Amino acid sequence: MIPRLSSQAHQAGAACPQISSFPWYERIRTAFLIEPGGEDRTPHETFDNDVNSRGKRDRVRVLHNFDRAASIYDSTRSLPDSVMNAVVDAISAELRGSRLVLDAGVGTGRFAGPLRNRGLAVVGLDVSRAMLSEARRKSAADLVRGELLTMPFVNGAFDSCLMIHVLHLVESPTRLLSEIGRVCKSKVLSLAESSDYVSVRENYIRLLTQAGYSWGDLSEQKLTTIVAPTLLKEVISYPVVRKADDDIEYFRNRMSAVTWDVPAEVHERIIRELSSSLGGRVFSFRTTVRLAKWSAVQLRDADLGSAR
Ligand X SMILES: C[S@@+](CC[C@H](N)C(=O)[O-])C[C@H]1O[C@@H](n2cnc3c(N)ncnc32)[C@H](O)[C@@H]1O
Which residues of this chain interact with ligand X, rule CB under 6 A? 59, 62, 66, 77, 105-107, 110, 126-128, 131, 147-149, 164-166, 169-170
User: Residue 63 or 154: which CB sits closer to ligand X?
Assistant: 63
> 22-37 in b/e burial notation, b at 16+ Cβ within 10 A?
beebeebeeebbbeee
Q: Specify the DSSP element, H or E, that contains 147.
A: none
Nearer to ligand X, 29 or 175 (CB): 175
Q: Which of residues 113 and 119 has its CB atom nearest to ligand X in the complex? A: 113
Smaller CB separation from ligand X, 170 or 299: 170
Q: Is residue 164 within 8 Å of residue 112, measured between CB atoms? A: no
User: CB 214 → ligand X: shortest distance, Å?
Assistant: 20
What is d(CA 119, CA 165) in angstroms, rounded to the nearest whole number?
23
Beta pairing, strands 33-34 & 142-145: antiparallel
- Beta carbon of residue 195, minimum distance to ligand X (angstroms, whole number): 17
Residue 290: φ, ψ to 5°: -115, 150
Q: Whole-number minimum distance, CB 97 to ligand X, in Å?
A: 22
* CB of 307 vs ligand X, minimal distance in Å: 18
Query: How does 180-191 read in b/e, with b if 16+ C-beta sit within 10 Å?
Result: bbbbbbbbbbbb
Whole-number Å distance between alpha carbons of 232 and 235: 9
Closer residue to ligand X, CB minimum distance, 169 or 270? 169
Which residue has the CB atom at the shortest distance from ligand X? 107
Count the residues in the chain. 308
The CB-of-80 to ligand X minimum distance in angstroms stands at 15
